[in-house]
Structure 1
Amino acid sequence: MCAWDGAGGQLSIGTWSHWDHADPMSRIVVTGTGPGREDLIRAFDQCLVTDVEAVSYGLAWDTVEDGLEPWLGDIAHP
């Protein structure tokens, strides 16, 4: 599992744990003190791949590199 943690201008990216027998999933937690909650929710909603996009693009989402390899390691393909 990957952890991406940022606060006060600092950023940490790295391995948090291993999946072992759990099903892989994504979870994003955003903590803040200012306004903009609805804007943030809307922005993340707009990032989701729709069913139409998933069918139209097929395996185009599958990639061999994403630029984060120096920090997170190579992409694992089943």
Structure 2
Amino acid sequence: MDGAGQGLREQARPCPQAGSLLRLSEALLQIAIVLISVSIVATLPWLAIFGGIIGAVGGLLMVNGYTLAIEIPFLAA
């Protein structure tokens, strides 16, 4: 393999922090869905707001997991 191919192979290696961020964002989004669903059944608007906040945090972590724009210290490997 030539030098250019080796350089591309190094760039393509997965980042462990990205996996951690994506797993955490998936969990937060699932929790948000459950909280919002429960708030509908229980007619608790504050629970829907709390679920929305958790969902927004999960969405931001998902975007960061794909772009790795911000390094989160407690998730760094």
- Report the TM-score when normalising by structure 2: 0.28
- Where is the strand percentage greater, Structure 1 or Structure 2? 1
- Where is the helix percentage greater, Structure 1 or Structure 2? 2
- Report the TM-score when normalising by structure 1: 0.28
